[in-house]
Amino acid sequence: MEDVLSDIFRRIELKSCVYFKRDFWSPWAMEISNVNIAQFHVVIRGRCVLETAEQSLDGAPGDVFLLPRGGAHVLADRQGRTPVSGMAVMQSFEGDAPLFADGDVASQLICGHYDYRNDITHPLLEQLPAVVHIRSFETMAPGMVSSVLPMLVSELNGGRPGASSVVEKLAEVLLVQVLRLYLAEQKAPDGFLAALTDARLMKAIQLIHTDTSGALGLSALAQAAGMSRSSFAAHFKSVTGLSPHGYLVHWRMVHACELLRVNRLPLAEVADRIGYESEISFSRAFKRTLDVTPAEYRRAAS
């Protein structure tokens, strides 16, 4: 049985892209504009600072910065630098005069992004902070640094057959480890990510993910969790920020989008596959969730 986090990543079609592993010689600074994809930066050697409008974070070797929603930010060797646009920096790497190729002290970074469907989001990504900073010197991070990052650097250096595919997969493994470490660091974890480590909630969430066509109500979900209806509903809401019914509907709409866009099934069959008794009730729920009708969504997707 596929675990819930893997199922989420598969349904939202998570894909990684590594831009580069590069030395930046001080003084240097680049500004990354706001985009609707998750971005990440790994400090391999030296130090850097990541600045947003709200905060400034110092990065040391082995640190990972994850921006789940890709907000605007600046990467630099220190605060106060005047940044060059990230696009200009990337374009300079293709010519004979790459930016930040000379200086006194070098910082080596791996930068990239995680792409996923933007037609319907998942609360796991929406509930994460604007910047997740995993520090290499903290208790659980060295295990990650000593395993995935050296392999990632080796593949980026080696130029061996299949390296691009291996790098993409390792970057996805890195994301999972970052999420695990972020959750472990929280003193009082909450949000959907925290629910994945709650044994009782996981049984109900697993049922939602596996029984897409079942008539799942509050009683069935509470029974799966081994709790009373009222206790389960309150606990689910307090941890995830969602009602059990709200998440059930949301996840089924994620599945419906895939059936409409990829499988292109008739609306009546889509409704049946995700647990709705009629095409009308399905269409109403779809419209409430995505603000378009299933027919409009399918036309736009095509």
pLDDT at position 281 over 50? yes
Token pair listed for 73? 């930010």
Determine the distance from the C-alpha atom of residue 241 to the mean position of all C-alpha atoms in its chain, rounded to a whole number. Answer: 18
> Measuring CA to CA, how many Å separate 55 from each of 52, 65, 72, 188?
5, 13, 12, 22
Q: How confident is the model at residue 19 (pLDDT cuts 50, 70, 90)?
A: very high
Q: Where are the domains of the chain?
A: 4-185, 198-301
Which residues lie closer than 8 Å to 228 by C-beta, 6 or more apart? 222
pLDDT, tens digit, 9 for 90 and up, residues 21-60 = 999 999 999 999 988 889 999 999 999 999 999 999 999 9
pLDDT over 60 (residue 271): yes
CA of 148: how far to CAs of 15, 167, 210, in Å? Answer: 17, 10, 30
Nearest to 140 by CA among 179, 104, 100, 171: 179
* 124: nearest Cα among 77, 182, 82: 182
Assigned CATH class of 198-301: mainly alpha
What's the mean pLDDT in 120-137? Answer: 89
* The domains spanning 4-185 and 198-301 adopt the same CATH topology: no
4-185: what fold? Jelly Rolls (2.60.120)
